[in-house]
Amino acid sequence: MEDQKKKITLPGLRKLFKLYSYIKPYKYEYALGILFLLGSSGASLAFPKLLGQLVDLGNQGKLALEINRIALILVAVLVVQSICSYFRIYLFVHVAEKTLADLRQSTFNHLIRLPMKFFLHRRVGELNSRISSDITLLQDALTSTLAEFLRQLIIIIGGVTLLMFTSFKLTLFMLAVVPVIMVLVVVFGRYIRKLSKQAQSQVADSNTIVEETLQGIQSVKTFTNEFFEMARYKGKTIEIAQTGIKNGKLRGAFSSFTIFGIFGAMTAVIWRGSALLAAGELATGELFSFVIYSMFIGGTIGGMADVFTRVQKFIGATEDLLEIFNEPEETVEEIDQLSPDQILHGSIRFNKVSFHYPSRPEMQVLTDLNVTIQPDTLVALVGPSGAGKSTFVSLLLRLYDPVAGEISFDEKQSMTIPLSALRSQMAVVPQDIFLFGGTIRENIEYGRPGSSEEMIEAAARKANAWDFISNFPDGMDTLVGERGTQLSGGQRQRIAIARAVLKDPKILILDEATSSLDSESERLVQDALEKLMKGRTSIVIAHRLSTIRQADHILVLNNGQIVEQGTHDQLILLQDGLYRNLSALQFS
């Protein structure tokens, strides 16, 4: 709750106004909108003065011609005000929608460029809430809130100036109550902002529950936890409702005090004006104009309270968004064609590499790793759970960088190779296959977007996936469902292999996933993997040692260190060796 106590400071406002840079491409439309706003505000200010003159002319018994002239001017003012109001609203909405689209794209593009360490302590639902609900809150703030603030400022300053010319004494009397209302605006606004930010945080939490529950719906149902999830979501929505009710109470009290202040001031002004009218210091039309101006100014001050509340919400919504924008991005770029010096040949070397995760600096995951992997070889990573096998692969992909030592590809330090160029030459077939909820074609094509139908079909055939794909009524256009739930485990594996085949990487990373498949699926997947591994450097995280007996080199990891390495025949001969013991446990 610490962040909810942040106050509006000048540096904070400077950061917030950075978001207005998104309006810059539409500055001419926005400026035109401001001109129409000035026209509308000017017409509003002229209206009470003209009404006062009309009352005075009638009171003085002037000719109908004079009265009609003022009436026609009033009609003209109303027409101008209507036209200006229409174009003001149209232009601001036009700019707001375009600005919001740019902001959404910019936020998503920034998110997708952030390194993996950022996502270690962020939940998907929370980030989704930032892009959806938080940015939607900015819609008014980026355009109409500022415009509305300017309009109200013009009416207050212009109105008070005209009131001074009408009656200096009565103006001073009216302005005596304004500071009281402004103090209320500040006090209530502070609490409303706090509750608004709290509500935003709670909405983000509730979105996270929905997101995670729907993503893991199979687990929810297999563990019969539907009512547990319902109760969890119910608790969070009740919290949101309670915060909203508390916010409503404060806003209601705020509104009541504002109305009391405004109408109390109006009563006092009319009472004082009547006394000046009786004393001959004020004309009837002037008092009439004064009352209307006072209503305009009072209503505008009340409206400023609402604008201030929207600014509070704006600040609450943008604080988390700005924190995301302050996160440094990875240097990723679109790859059209690799330059000759960026092409990998498959040689890898770890030189005294150590690593710990940013979120757990006290836990060393890899320690002083030294290993050389030759091109076009099959290297297996073996070891107990938590030994560092997956981390080894993550460092290869530069999802994380070592905290000590260096990794080289073809004797070039990985840090000197552009990140996108490096990853574009690697492919991963993980144990837990993630498929997008579209068609089979879209999932295979993800390996190389823009591939031809012939290339996609050839990849499916090499992955032993074409037979089952062609048996589906919709073939390649078959929807795989959320995370591929419409396909079996073996089918998902072969789709993932086809995706890797289409990418045609120089370095292939496999998190062996045949252990949970039936015999027929395992045979098809294993055959597809063997075809995929030919002619490239392959690194396999081995769970079943029987599948890596033919590996060119086996690295045995334990507690983040390479404790043994060699071929299967060499390692099986080591007395009390970890590999030999693991092998004995599996085959017994």
Nearest Cα to 12, choosing from 265, 306, 311, 457? 311
Q: In the chain, what percentage of residues exceed pLDDT 70?
A: 74
Please name the amino acid found at residue 568: H
19-56 pLDDT tens trace = 667 778 888 888 898 888 888 877 777 767 776 666 66
pLDDT in the model for residue 515: 53
Q: How many Cα neighbours within 13 Å face the side chain of 582?
A: 19
**Architecture of the 433-504 domain:** 3-Layer(aba) Sandwich (3.40)
Mean pLDDT of the chain: 77
The arrangement of strands across the sheet holding 378-382 comes to: 426-429, 507-511, 537-541, 378-382, 553-558, 561-566
Q: Which residue in the block uniquely carries the two structure tokens 């001419």? A: 28
Q: Which DSSP symbol is given to 330?
A: P
**Residues 95 and 30 sit within 8 Å (Cβ to Cβ):** yes
pLDDT in the model for residue 262: 65
Beta-bridge partners for 564: 556
What are the boundaries of each domain within the chain? 2-325, 348-425+507-518+534-576, 433-504
Report the distance separating Cα 373 and Cα 426, nearest Å: 15
Beta strands 537-541 and 378-382 are parallel
Fold of the domain built from segment(s) 2-325 = ABC transporter transmembrane region fold (1.20.1560)
**138-142, 231-235, 305-309, 312-316: which has the highest mean pLDDT?**
231-235
123-167 pLDDT tens trace = 666 677 667 767 766 766 666 666 777 777 777 777 777 777 766
**Residues 371 and 544 sit within 8 Å (Cβ to Cβ):** no
348-425+507-518+534-576 maps to CATH 3.20.20.70: no
Alpha helices in 366-488, H assignment, sequence order: 389-396, 419-423, 440-445, 453-462, 466-471
pLDDT in the model for residue 181: 60
341-367 pLDDT tens trace = 878 888 889 899 898 887 788 888 888
Q: Which pair of structure tokens corresponds to residue 458?
A: 């050839």
290-301 pLDDT tens trace = 777 666 776 676
Q: Work out the average pLDDT over 475-481.
A: 83
Q: Read off φ and ψ for residue 412, nearest 5 degrees.
A: -110, 130
Q: Which pair of structure tokens corresponds to residue 581?
A: 């013991």
Beta-bridge partners for 68: none
Q: Report the sign of the C-alpha dihedral through residues 111, 108, 317, 128, in that order.
A: negative
Across 411-415, 479-483, 554-558, least confident range: 479-483
pLDDT in the model for residue 3: 40
572-584 pLDDT tens trace = 887 778 878 877 7
pLDDT in the model for residue 120: 67
pLDDT higher for 469 or 307? 469
**Is residue 222 scored above 70 in pLDDT?**
no
The arrangement of strands across the sheet holding 404-409 comes to: 366-373, 348-355, 404-409, 412-413
Q: What is the pTM of this model?
A: 0.63
Say yes or no: do domains 348-425+507-518+534-576 and 433-504 share a fold: yes
Report the distance separating Cα 148 and Cα 34, nearest Å: 10
Q: Work out the average pLDDT over 412-420.
A: 85
